[in-house]
A and B are shown apart, each in its own frame.
Chain A
Amino acid sequence: MIGAAVSRTLGSRGLPWVAGLWLVVLALSPLYGDNYIVKIATFVALYGVLALSWNFIGGYAGYPSFATGAFVGLGAYAGAICQNAGVPMIVAWLLAAIIVAGVAAAMGPVILRLRGHYFAIGSISLVEIGSVLASNWSGLTGGGEGLNVRFLPGGPDFIARFFLYAMLVILVAALATTIAVDRGRLGFGLRCIAQNEDAAEMVGVPSTRYKIAAFVLSGVFCGAAGAAYASWVGYIAPADAFSILLTVKVPVMVLLGGAGSVLGPLIGSAALVLLEETVWARFLDYHQAILGAIIVALIFFLPGGLLGLRLRWRS
């Protein structure tokens, strides 16, 4: 109701302001909350990055990718290994983003030949491959023992704020890219591919190139976010870095908010993280069951995501 009313008054032109306002709310969290609240805000920003990333391939191009966990894990390991080799932290994050983009560009032509369920399975296997590589390539990754990342010195307040703003910078970059894609040729082409790939090809959309571009975009910010996360926690291990849970959670967030739009991923990621947090804090014993029920209900009753509320109100 309220969401619908808000968007009715704002109209579609007002929506970017909602995004801006949301960024401000997150950025100001150190002023109104303790470090735990700041940590949640950081996680909201982190998941915002991942959801916006997934939106390129899953939302615009309509390819159900489950590679998010692989990109995050690869970014975490790439960043950690670079940092331990003496590369300054921020440079290591950038390198991680470049490495992940490179891997996505190399893997894209292979797995983007698959469509629908086959593509989903192909992309989820990347997570598993990453995990197996990380646990068996002991010389480079420390294997099952995991990898220590240089511990950034500083008090808890400084660390909390530093990583909040680091995640927000990555989030702004992902958001700006989304807006550019949404309004540009690439976004148009990807929407055509999502509707009918063969038809798109016929009217001159270079579908292979566009799909690879979307896949790379869906990886690059995840890589940076993964590397930043590794520096934040100070330790990574294969099973937690290459997380199947994460790879499934991010598409749920985007579907929750509304796929193939600028705001949907932001709304969905914020809604799911905050929902998880509230449900978890209130119902210690049954939180997972309750969360599952809420997700099922949302998907049943809001197939277009939370943004779809607005459309329904209008019609």
Chain B
Amino acid sequence: MNTGRSVARTGRSALGILVALLAIAGPTAAQTVRIGAPLALTGGLADEGKKQQVAYDLWAKRVNAAGGMTVGAKKLKVEIVSYDYQTNEQRASQIAEKLITQDKVDFLTAPFGSGHTKVVAGVAERYGVPVVASVASSESVFNQGFRNLFGTLAPNAGLTDGLVRLVAKQLPATRRIAVLGREDVFPKSMAAAMVDAAKRGTLEVVYNELYPVGSMDFSAPLAKIKSLKPDWIFVAGYTKDLVLARKQMADLGVSAPVVTMVTGPAYREFAEALGPLAEGVTSATWWVPALAFRSDDVFGTTQAFTADFQAREKGEPDYVHASAAAALVALQKAVEKAGTLDKAKVRDALAALDIVTFYGPIRFSPNGMNAGRDLPIIQVQGGKAVVLQPEALKQGTLRPMK
């Protein structure tokens, strides 16, 4: 009996304390700007998902260290609410819904995968929640007429046109190009953009094929390319594929004066995995640490971003890190301009944005993609990715491959 009563008493007092705690916690929990992030932390896109996570965190720490984000008259701290969507489409759509309805986030970022970006944007569109996408560069991601999807990468064509111009200027003997691409959103669109750019630039496209997702052997397409003796070999795929393709090219003795791999050398993993074989491979990318933009955003300069990154991670940031942080910078600028967290007003502010950030200029086209600009072209020289273009940042000149 006694025990029963004392248990009841303890229970009551525990309940009392709990209620008191809740009462205290309620009003003191300050308002924050909540940004939802479905991230691929496991599964096929885990490496890329982790890059986004690091960049978002860099941005959030920097903003909070400066007192927070200015929203009207207030300064609000920012908070990234993230979940692992396991590189799984169904999970991505579920998480988008959870972030919006249960975590009540103000805005969303898009995951890494192009298709997954579309799925998340589809859910957000119904709620009118703005989504910033940091790594979608294919126009097909933006072709559903969504009003709330904004991407910081410029369209793929911006990369290929620059490449064709540079090669035509410095190696005018280049005539015949072979294009091999992966049957997947980004690489396929990249390969198509290259074929278009080549035709506009009066190159002859001697080979234009796609390889299926999951290919473990490129010897058949490479043997065919070898027999065609092109002056320029262009391969679009993801890092693992490109490393394998480059190794097989060496094994089969396939070579050309110009070998371009997208996005290959833009990731430092490419040169690390290939060693001397990476030498001379060219690529185009959206961002390199050598860029020197000055801005009034939370990072201030490209160098400050790179330094911040290096203080935290080993090695240099690549375009995925920069673009992910830039997506949140764009969102911050839009919120500050709108002076409110109202989703529709922030959406309009994003659409009207025209700013320069540490990452470069950001101005969204009507379809939501960042407008094109002079994008960097790089070549691996001495084990490092060296900038060939734009002229202002030039660190070296295009060398033909041996």
* Interface of A toward B, CB cutoff 8 Å: 34-36, 39-40, 43, 132, 135-136, 143-146, 148, 151, 154-156, 159, 233-235, 237-240, 245, 284, 288
Contacts and interface: CB of A to CB of B under 8 A. Distances in A.
A144 B89 contact: no
B212 A235 contact: no
Given A145-B189, A245-B88, A156 B126 contact: yes
Interface of B: 42, 83-84, 86, 88-90, 93-94, 97-98, 100-102, 115, 118-119, 122-123, 125-127, 138, 140, 143-145, 182-185, 188-189, 210, 212-213
Contacts of B101: 34-36
Nearest to A159: B126
A151 B188 contact: no
Nearest to A160: B97
B102 A146 contact: no
A250 B18 CA distance: 43
A240 B114 CA distance: 12
Nearest to B86: A288
A145 B97 contact: no
A151 B183 contact: no
Contact of B213 (A155, A239, A245): A239
Nearest to B141: A145
B212 A146 contact: no
Contact of A284 (B83, B94, B184): B83
Nearest to A158: B126
B97 A144 contact: no
A125 B210 CA distance: 22
Contacts, number: 83
A68 B139 CA distance: 32
A240 B89 contact: yes
B185 A145 contact: yes
B102 A34 contact: yes
Nearest to B145: A151
A235 B83 contact: no
A144 B144 contact: no
A143 B138 CA distance: 14
Contact of A136 (B94, B97, B98, B183): B183
B189 to A, nearest CB: 7
Contact of A143 (B83, B84, B188): B188
Nearest to A238: B213
A288 to B, nearest CB: 7
B183 A43 contact: no
Contacts of A40: 94
Contacts of B83: 284
**Residue among B83, B90, B126, B144 having the largest count of chain A Cβ atoms under 10 Å:** B126
Contacts of B188: 143-145
Contact of A233 (B86, B119, B182): B119
A148 B145 CA distance: 11
A267 B323 CA distance: 45
B122 A234 contact: yes
Contacts of B212: 132, 135-136
Contacts of B123: 156
Contact of A36 (B86, B102, B126): B102
7 shortest interchain CB distances as A-B pairs: A240-B89, A144-B183, A237-B115, A156-B126, A144-B184, A234-B122, A235-B118
B147 to A, nearest CB: 12
B233 to A, nearest CB: 21
9 contacts: A36-B102, A135-B212, A144-B210, A144-B213, A146-B118, A148-B144, A151-B122, A239-B115, A240-B115
B115 A151 contact: no
A152 to B, nearest CB: 10
Nearest to B98: A36
A34 B98 CA distance: 9
